[in-house]
Protein backbone atom coordinates (compact mmCIF):
# COMPACT_ATOMS: atom_id res chain seq x y z
CA UNK A 1 0.00 0.00 0.00
CA UNK A 2 1.43 3.43 -0.94
CA UNK A 3 2.36 5.55 2.04
CA UNK A 4 1.99 9.30 2.50
CA UNK A 5 5.13 11.07 3.65
CA UNK A 6 3.41 14.29 4.76
CA UNK A 7 0.56 15.07 7.10
CA UNK A 8 -1.63 17.05 4.68
CA UNK A 9 -4.34 14.41 5.05
CA UNK A 10 -3.74 13.70 8.70
CA UNK A 11 -6.06 16.35 10.14
CA UNK A 12 -8.95 15.67 7.71
CA UNK A 13 -8.62 11.99 8.58
CA UNK A 14 -8.80 12.74 12.31
CA UNK A 15 -11.81 15.01 11.68
CA UNK A 16 -13.71 12.28 9.79
CA UNK A 17 -13.02 9.77 12.55
CA UNK A 18 -14.26 12.27 15.14
CA UNK A 19 -17.54 12.72 13.27
CA UNK A 20 -17.96 8.97 12.88
CA UNK A 21 -17.14 8.47 16.59
CA UNK A 22 -19.81 11.00 17.59
CA UNK A 23 -22.52 9.13 15.68
CA UNK A 24 -21.24 5.78 16.94
CA UNK A 25 -21.30 7.16 20.47
CA UNK A 26 -24.97 8.05 19.98
CA UNK A 27 -25.89 4.38 19.74
CA UNK A 28 -27.17 3.67 23.25
CA UNK A 29 -26.83 -0.01 24.08
CA UNK A 30 -28.44 0.04 27.53
CA UNK A 31 -31.92 1.03 26.28
CA UNK A 32 -31.53 -1.51 23.45
CA UNK A 33 -30.61 -4.31 25.85
CA UNK A 34 -33.40 -3.19 28.16
CA UNK A 35 -35.95 -3.63 25.38
CA UNK A 36 -34.68 -7.17 24.86
CA UNK A 37 -35.88 -7.83 28.42
CA UNK A 38 -39.13 -5.91 27.82
CA UNK A 39 -37.92 -3.01 29.97
CA UNK A 40 -37.97 0.67 29.07
CA UNK A 41 -35.22 1.99 31.30
CA UNK A 42 -36.00 5.57 30.29
CA UNK A 43 -39.25 5.30 32.25
CA UNK A 44 -37.94 3.34 35.24
CA UNK A 45 -35.36 3.80 37.97
CA UNK A 46 -33.33 6.95 37.44
CA UNK A 47 -34.62 7.07 33.83
CA UNK A 48 -31.02 7.35 32.68
CA UNK A 49 -29.87 5.55 29.53
CA UNK A 50 -26.76 4.11 31.20
CA UNK A 51 -25.69 0.65 32.30
CA UNK A 52 -26.22 1.39 36.02
CA UNK A 53 -29.90 2.08 35.49
CA UNK A 54 -30.13 -0.97 33.24
CA UNK A 55 -28.87 -3.17 36.09
CA UNK A 56 -31.13 -1.42 38.58
CA UNK A 57 -34.30 -1.85 36.50
CA UNK A 58 -33.67 -5.34 35.11
CA UNK A 59 -31.81 -6.78 38.12
CA UNK A 60 -29.55 -8.46 35.57
CA UNK A 61 -25.87 -7.75 36.16
CA UNK A 62 -24.70 -9.80 33.16
CA UNK A 63 -26.61 -7.79 30.60
CA UNK A 64 -25.62 -4.59 32.40
CA UNK A 65 -21.94 -5.48 32.16
CA UNK A 66 -22.44 -6.41 28.49
CA UNK A 67 -23.97 -2.99 27.79
CA UNK A 68 -21.12 -1.30 29.65
CA UNK A 69 -18.55 -3.19 27.56
CA UNK A 70 -20.33 -2.14 24.37
CA UNK A 71 -20.18 1.47 25.56
CA UNK A 72 -16.42 1.10 26.05
CA UNK A 73 -16.02 -0.14 22.49
CA UNK A 74 -17.73 3.00 21.19
CA UNK A 75 -14.59 4.98 22.03
CA UNK A 76 -12.01 2.21 21.71
CA UNK A 77 -12.88 1.25 18.12
CA UNK A 78 -12.57 4.78 16.62
CA UNK A 79 -9.19 5.21 18.32
CA UNK A 80 -8.00 1.79 17.23
CA UNK A 81 -9.08 2.16 13.61
CA UNK A 82 -7.60 5.66 13.39
CA UNK A 83 -4.33 4.22 14.67
CA UNK A 84 -4.63 1.44 12.08
CA UNK A 85 -5.13 3.95 9.24
CA UNK A 86 -2.12 5.95 10.41
CA UNK A 87 -0.02 2.81 10.64
CA UNK A 88 -0.95 1.63 7.14
CA UNK A 89 -1.07 4.97 5.31
CA UNK A 90 1.27 7.41 6.99
CA UNK A 91 4.98 6.68 7.33
CA UNK A 92 6.77 6.53 10.63
CA UNK A 93 8.72 9.62 9.56
CA UNK A 94 5.70 11.71 10.48
CA UNK A 95 6.16 10.96 14.14
CA UNK A 96 9.23 13.09 14.72
CA UNK A 97 9.54 14.72 18.12
CA UNK A 98 8.46 18.07 16.64
CA UNK A 99 5.12 16.53 15.63
CA UNK A 100 4.75 14.41 18.74
CA UNK A 101 1.90 16.48 20.17
CA UNK A 102 -0.13 15.97 17.00
CA UNK A 103 0.07 12.23 17.61
CA UNK A 104 -2.12 12.64 20.69
CA UNK A 105 -4.94 13.50 18.30
CA UNK A 106 -5.52 9.79 17.71
CA UNK A 107 -7.36 9.86 21.06
CA UNK A 108 -9.62 12.76 20.05
CA UNK A 109 -12.29 10.51 18.43
CA UNK A 110 -12.73 8.93 21.85
CA UNK A 111 -13.74 12.32 23.26
CA UNK A 112 -16.32 12.72 20.49
CA UNK A 113 -17.67 9.24 21.30
CA UNK A 114 -18.20 10.40 24.91
CA UNK A 115 -19.97 13.53 23.65
CA UNK A 116 -22.13 11.39 21.35
CA UNK A 117 -23.07 9.12 24.24
CA UNK A 118 -23.91 12.11 26.45
CA UNK A 119 -25.76 14.16 23.79
CA UNK A 120 -26.81 11.72 21.04
CA UNK A 121 -27.49 12.93 17.52
CA UNK A 122 -31.16 11.94 17.85
CA UNK A 123 -31.47 14.25 20.86
CA UNK A 124 -29.91 17.13 18.91
CA UNK A 125 -32.16 16.44 15.92
CA UNK A 126 -35.38 16.40 17.95
CA UNK A 127 -34.22 19.36 20.04
CA UNK A 128 -34.09 21.58 16.96
CA UNK A 129 -37.20 19.93 15.53
CA UNK A 130 -38.98 20.79 18.78
CA UNK A 131 -38.12 24.48 18.42
CA UNK A 132 -35.05 24.30 20.70
CA UNK A 133 -37.22 23.17 23.61
CA UNK A 134 -36.26 20.32 25.94
CA UNK A 135 -39.83 19.16 26.56
CA UNK A 136 -40.66 15.54 25.62
CA UNK A 137 -37.04 14.66 24.83
CA UNK A 138 -36.52 12.08 27.58
CA UNK A 139 -36.70 9.27 25.02
CA UNK A 140 -33.63 10.65 23.25
CA UNK A 141 -31.40 11.56 26.21
CA UNK A 142 -28.02 9.91 26.47
CA UNK A 143 -26.00 8.43 29.30
CA UNK A 144 -23.31 9.94 31.50
CA UNK A 145 -20.31 8.66 29.57
CA UNK A 146 -18.40 6.76 32.27
CA UNK A 147 -18.02 3.48 30.35
CA UNK A 148 -17.29 5.27 27.08
CA UNK A 149 -14.60 7.27 28.87
CA UNK A 150 -13.15 3.98 30.12
CA UNK A 151 -12.75 2.90 26.49
CA UNK A 152 -10.32 5.78 25.96
CA UNK A 153 -8.38 4.73 29.04
CA UNK A 154 -8.10 1.16 27.75
CA UNK A 155 -6.65 2.40 24.45
CA UNK A 156 -4.11 4.51 26.35
CA UNK A 157 -3.02 2.23 29.19
CA UNK A 158 -4.51 -1.07 30.36
CA UNK A 159 -2.68 -0.58 33.65
CA UNK A 160 -4.55 2.64 34.41
CA UNK A 161 -7.76 0.87 33.47
CA UNK A 162 -6.96 -1.96 35.89
CA UNK A 163 -6.38 0.54 38.68
CA UNK A 164 -9.60 2.34 37.72
CA UNK A 165 -11.71 -0.82 37.84
CA UNK A 166 -10.24 -1.75 41.23
CA UNK A 167 -10.85 1.74 42.59
CA UNK A 168 -14.39 1.90 41.16
CA UNK A 169 -15.60 -1.31 42.77
CA UNK A 170 -13.75 -0.61 46.03
CA UNK A 171 -15.51 2.74 46.46
CA UNK A 172 -18.85 1.37 45.27
CA UNK A 173 -18.73 -1.58 47.68
CA UNK A 174 -17.60 0.57 50.61
CA UNK A 175 -19.98 3.50 50.12
CA UNK A 176 -22.73 1.83 48.05
CA UNK A 177 -22.75 4.94 45.81
CA UNK A 178 -22.04 4.18 42.15
CA UNK A 179 -22.20 7.87 41.28
CA UNK A 180 -19.52 8.77 43.84
CA UNK A 181 -17.37 5.92 42.59
CA UNK A 182 -17.75 7.11 38.99
CA UNK A 183 -16.80 10.68 39.89
CA UNK A 184 -13.68 9.78 41.86
CA UNK A 185 -12.52 7.06 39.47
CA UNK A 186 -12.88 9.15 36.31
CA UNK A 187 -10.81 11.99 37.76
CA UNK A 188 -8.21 9.61 39.19
CA UNK A 189 -7.70 7.80 35.89
CA UNK A 190 -7.22 11.11 34.07
CA UNK A 191 -4.56 12.18 36.59
CA UNK A 192 -2.76 8.84 36.36
CA UNK A 193 -1.65 9.52 32.77
CA UNK A 194 1.11 11.69 34.30
CA UNK A 195 2.55 8.69 36.14
CA UNK A 196 5.35 7.55 33.86
CA UNK A 197 5.35 3.80 34.63
CA UNK A 198 1.63 3.65 33.84
CA UNK A 199 1.60 5.45 30.48
CA UNK A 200 2.88 2.45 28.52
CA UNK A 201 0.74 2.90 25.44
CA UNK A 202 0.51 -0.46 23.70
CA UNK A 203 -0.74 0.79 20.31
CA UNK A 204 2.26 0.99 17.98
CA UNK A 205 2.74 3.04 14.80
CA UNK A 206 6.21 1.79 13.99
CA UNK A 207 7.04 -1.68 12.76
CA UNK A 208 9.72 -2.13 15.37
CA UNK A 209 9.22 -3.00 19.02
CA UNK A 210 9.21 0.60 20.28
CA UNK A 211 6.15 2.11 21.90
CA UNK A 212 3.97 4.57 20.03
CA UNK A 213 5.36 7.55 21.91
CA UNK A 214 7.81 8.29 24.62
CA UNK A 215 6.89 10.09 27.81
CA UNK A 216 6.94 13.70 26.58
CA UNK A 217 5.11 16.35 28.58
CA UNK A 218 3.43 17.96 25.55
CA UNK A 219 2.06 14.63 24.32
CA UNK A 220 0.88 13.53 27.77
CA UNK A 221 -0.41 17.05 28.39
CA UNK A 222 -2.62 17.00 25.30
CA UNK A 223 -3.95 13.54 26.15
CA UNK A 224 -4.64 14.77 29.67
CA UNK A 225 -6.64 17.72 28.30
CA UNK A 226 -8.73 15.32 26.23
CA UNK A 227 -9.38 13.12 29.26
CA UNK A 228 -10.06 16.14 31.48
CA UNK A 229 -12.71 17.36 29.04
CA UNK A 230 -14.41 13.97 29.38
CA UNK A 231 -14.18 14.19 33.17
CA UNK A 232 -15.87 17.61 33.05
CA UNK A 233 -18.68 16.07 30.97
CA UNK A 234 -19.02 13.16 33.41
CA UNK A 235 -19.12 15.45 36.44
CA UNK A 236 -21.62 17.78 34.78
CA UNK A 237 -23.81 14.84 33.80
CA UNK A 238 -23.72 13.76 37.47
CA UNK A 239 -24.61 17.22 38.82
CA UNK A 240 -27.96 16.02 40.20
CA UNK A 241 -26.24 13.02 41.77
CA UNK A 242 -23.72 15.35 43.43
CA UNK A 243 -26.54 17.39 44.96
CA UNK A 244 -28.22 14.22 46.24
CA UNK A 245 -24.90 12.99 47.67
CA UNK A 246 -24.57 16.16 49.73
CA UNK A 247 -28.20 15.87 50.84
CA UNK A 248 -27.81 12.19 51.66
CA UNK A 249 -30.65 11.18 49.34
CA UNK A 250 -28.63 9.44 46.63
CA UNK A 251 -29.74 5.90 45.71
CA UNK A 252 -27.50 3.14 47.00
CA UNK A 253 -26.30 0.05 45.19
CA UNK A 254 -24.92 -3.32 46.29
CA UNK A 255 -27.32 -3.32 49.23
CA UNK A 256 -28.96 -6.60 50.17
CA UNK A 257 -32.70 -6.35 50.46
CA UNK A 258 -34.03 -7.49 53.81
CA UNK A 259 -36.49 -10.35 53.68
CA UNK A 260 -39.92 -9.58 54.97
CA UNK A 261 -41.00 -11.69 57.94
CA angle 222, 224, 227 (to 5 degrees): 115
Q: Is 227:151 a contact under the CB 8 Å cutoff?
A: no
Q: Which residues, 6+ apart, have CB-to-CB distance to 226 below 8 Å?
A: 104, 107, 108, 110, 111, 152
Label residue 84 by pLDDT band (50, 70, 90): confident
- Separation in Å, CA 89 to CA 5, 14, 16, 155, 205: 9, 13, 15, 20, 10
Indicate the pTM of the whole model.
Answer: 0.86
In the chain, count of helices (H) and strands (E)? 12, 0
Label residue 237 by pLDDT band (50, 70, 90): very high
At 171-228, the pLDDT tens digits run 999 999 999 999 999 999 999 988 876 655 555 443 443 444 455 677 788 889 999 9
pLDDT score of 98 more than 60 = no
CA-based nearest residue to 77, from 21, 143, 153: 21
Amino acid sequence: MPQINHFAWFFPTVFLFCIAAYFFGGVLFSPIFGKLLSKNIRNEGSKNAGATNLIRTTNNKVIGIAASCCDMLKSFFPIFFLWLVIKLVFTGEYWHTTNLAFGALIFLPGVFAVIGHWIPFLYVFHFFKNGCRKENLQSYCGGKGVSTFAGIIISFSPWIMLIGVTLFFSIALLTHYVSLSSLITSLTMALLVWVKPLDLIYLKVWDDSSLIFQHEWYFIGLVFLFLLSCVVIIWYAHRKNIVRLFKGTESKAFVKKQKQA
